[in-house]
Amino acid sequence: TKVVHWFHPKDLRCQDNTALHHASELAHSSKKPLICLYLHCAADESWHGTSPARMDFMCEGLAILQKDLKDLNIPLVFLECDDRKQMVPTVVDWLKEHKVSHVFSNYEYEIDEMRRDIKLVKLVENDVHVSIYHDQTVVEPGTMLTGSGKPMKVFTPYFGKWLSIVKEEPELLDLRPDPKKQSAEIAKELKDLFGTKPPTPGKDKQFKNEEERKRIRKLWPAGHKAGGKRMDAFLKKIKNYKATRSNPAEDSTSRMSAYFSAGMFSVREALRKVSDYNGGSSDFTEGRSKPGVYSWVREIVFRELYRQTTMTTPHTSMNLPQNLKFDYVQWEDDEEGWEKWYKGQTGEPFIDAGMRQLNQEAWMHNRLRMNVSSYLYCNLLLDYRRGERYFAETLIDWDLSNNTQGWEPSYTVFNPVSQAERNDPDGDYIRKWVPELKDVEGKAIFAPYARLSKEEFEKLGYPKPHVDWKKTKARCMERFKNDMSGV
C-alpha cells in the first residue's frame, strides 16, 4: 500500500508543509512509497473566479513543486476533472486503483472545501485512513474563544491574545521539516507516475497576449524560493513599515500576499524570519520588538482572524455578508458607474489610480482596496459582491477569507480626496497610474474637476466625477438605514 499527500491550491510548497511532513514521516517509518497528488478542476477555478494571473502563477508554481519533489524521488501526479461534483470521486478512484492506505492534506476553511474533505472521508470509508492538518495559520482557527466560549470576532482582543500566545509559545513558529528523500528503489517502483504534466490555464483564464503574461510573470515569479527572496528583501525595509505602509507611492509593503494565498511560502516561515530579525524573540509587542515588526505582524493577524471567521461563519463563503442585514440593501443598477469603476474612469483620481494599478499589476495596495470598495458600494451603491467578484477575477493574491472580509460592507464612507491628501500627499501614486494628471500641480491633483478652471480641466482629457461624493454619501446612509431597519 501507499501514502499520499493531496496538495490543494493553498499549500503549494514542500517546505514547512504540515501534512506533507506527516505523510513523509509515515511513509518513511513504514517503508511505504509516498506519492503527491494535485487535482486540477477547471470548472472549480471558474466557479471561484480565479484570475488569469493567479491561475498562471499557480501553474508555474506547480511545475516548480513537481521538480522540487522529483529531487526527493517523490512523484507529483496531476489529475484532471471537468465537473466539480466529480472532484472527490476522481481522487477516490485513483486512490483505490493505486492501493493507497493513507491520505494526508491540509485544511481549507471555506465551506465547499470543508465539504470536499468530509465527502472524501465518507467515500473511502474504512479503506483509506484520512488525516487533515491545520497549516495555514500560526494559531489554529477555532481555538481563539471569548470568555463565554464563542469564537472571537473582534480584532483588538484577538490580536492581544494572539501576541501573548506566540510570545509564550515560540515553538509555534518552528518549521516542519522537509519531506525525506525516498530511496532509489521506491522511485523505480513509482517510475510511471513521474511524467504527468502540470495543468495549464483554461480558455477563460488566458491573458490578452503572451507579452502580458510575461510582464505579470516577471512581477510575480512563482515558487517558494521567489517568496523567500521577496521576504528577505522586505526585512531590509521593515523598519519603515509603520510610517510608510499607508502611502501607496512608497510601495513599502511586503507584496507577500500572492505567496501566502497560494501557500508557496508559509506565514509560519515568514514569522520565523521576522523573529530571527527581532533578535530571536517571538515577543512582537509594540515597544518590545524592533521597529516595524509589531505593525507588520498586526496585518498577518488580520489574516489569521479572517480564517477563524471563515471557518466559524460558513455563510461568509456562500456569497453572504457576515452581518446578514446588509443582504437586505437594495443596490443600484448603475451600469455606467460599474464600467467606469472597473476601468478606472470614475473621475476620482485616487479611485482610478487604484483600479488601474489592479488592472495592470493584478495587485492593489491595501489603502486603495479600502477606498475603491467603499466607493463602489457606498457612493455608486452597487452590490459589493460585484466588486468582490471583480477582485477575485483580477487579483493574483485572491484569497476568499481576506477578500470577503475586506469587502464586508460597513458604514464608513471613505472620502477619496482627503484619503489621497493624507496617504499620497505628493500625488505621486496618482501621477504614476493616471498619466492624464501627471502635469497637474499642487492640491488640484486630488480633485482636478473641482480645483482647476473649466478650461484647464478640459485640456486634461480626464473624466468628470461620475457622482457627487457628498450627495451619494447621504443617499447611502439613508438607504442602509431604511433597508436594514426592522430586519
Residues that bind ligand FAD (CB under 6 A): 245, 253-257, 260-261, 299-300, 302-303, 306, 366, 369-370, 373, 391, 395, 397-399, 402-403, 406-407
Query: In the complex with ligand FAD, which residue's Cβ is closer, 36 or 301?
Result: 301
CB-nearer residue toward ligand FAD: 306 or 446: 306
In the complex, the smallest distance separating the C-beta of residue 2 from ligand FAD, rounded to whole angstroms, is: 35
**179 CB burial (10 A radius; 0-12, 13-18, 19+):** buried
176 Cα distance to chain centroid: 22
Q: Are 77 and 38 in contact (CB under 8 A)?
A: yes
Which long-range CB contacts under 8 A does 79-84 form with residues at least 24 apart?
79/37, 79/38, 79/39, 79/40, 80/39, 80/40, 80/41, 80/42, 80/199, 81/39, 81/40, 81/41, 82/41, 82/42, 82/43, 83/41, 83/43, 84/41, 84/43, 84/44, 84/47
Return the number of the residue (294 or 391) whose C-beta is nearest ligand FAD. 391
* Residues 484, 359: Cα–Cα separation, whole Å: 34
The smaller minimum CB distance to ligand FAD, of residues 260 and 462, is found at 260
User: CB of 437: closest distance to ligand FAD in angstroms?
Assistant: 24
Which set of grid coordinates corresponds to residue 325?
442585514
Cα 419 from Cα 247, distance rounded (Å): 10
Q: What are phi and psi for residue 132, nearest 5 degrees?
A: -120, 135
Which of 303/431 has CB closer to ligand FAD? 303
Q: Find the residue with minimal CB distance to ligand FAD.
A: 406
Shorter beta-carbon distance to ligand FAD: residue 131 or 366: 366
Shortest Å, Cβ 189 to ligand FAD: 40
**Contact present, 269 and 16 (Cβ < 8 Å):** yes
Q: How far is the CB of 483 from ligand FAD (least distance, A)?
A: 21
The CB-based long-range contact list for 217-222 (8 Å cut-off, 24+ gap) reads 217/56, 217/57, 217/60, 219/361, 219/362, 219/363, 220/53, 220/57, 220/258, 220/362, 220/363, 220/396, 222/57, 222/58, 222/60, 222/61, 222/64, 222/262, 222/264
Minimum distance of ligand FAD from residue 28's CB (angstroms): 33
4 grid coordinates = 499520499
Give whichever of 283 and 361 is closer to ligand FAD, judged by the CB atom: 361
Using the minimum distance from each CB to ligand FAD, give the nearer residue, 13 or 245: 245
Cα→Cα distances 454→108, 337, 458, Å: 54, 23, 6
CB nearer ligand FAD, residue 361 or residue 399: 399
Nearer to ligand FAD by Cβ, of 302 and 457: the residue is 302
Residue 195 and residue 322: Cα distance in Å, rounded? 44
Question: In 3D, which of 310, 283, 161, 293 has the Cα closest to residue 238?
Answer: 293
Give the span between the Cα atoms of 125 and 477, in whole angstroms. 53
Which CB, 100 or 372, lies closer to ligand FAD? Answer: 372
Q: How far is the CB of 412 from ligand FAD (least distance, A)?
A: 11
CB of residue 258 to ligand FAD, shortest distance in Å: 8
Task: Give the shortest CB-235-to-ligand FAD separation in angstroms.
Answer: 11
Q: How near is the Cβ of 400 to ligand FAD at its closest, in Å?
A: 8
Least separation, in Å, of the C-beta of 365 and ligand FAD?
6
**CB of 386: closest distance to ligand FAD in angstroms?**
12
CB burial of 421-439 (b: ≥16 within 10 Å; e: otherwise) equals bebbeebebbbbbbeebee
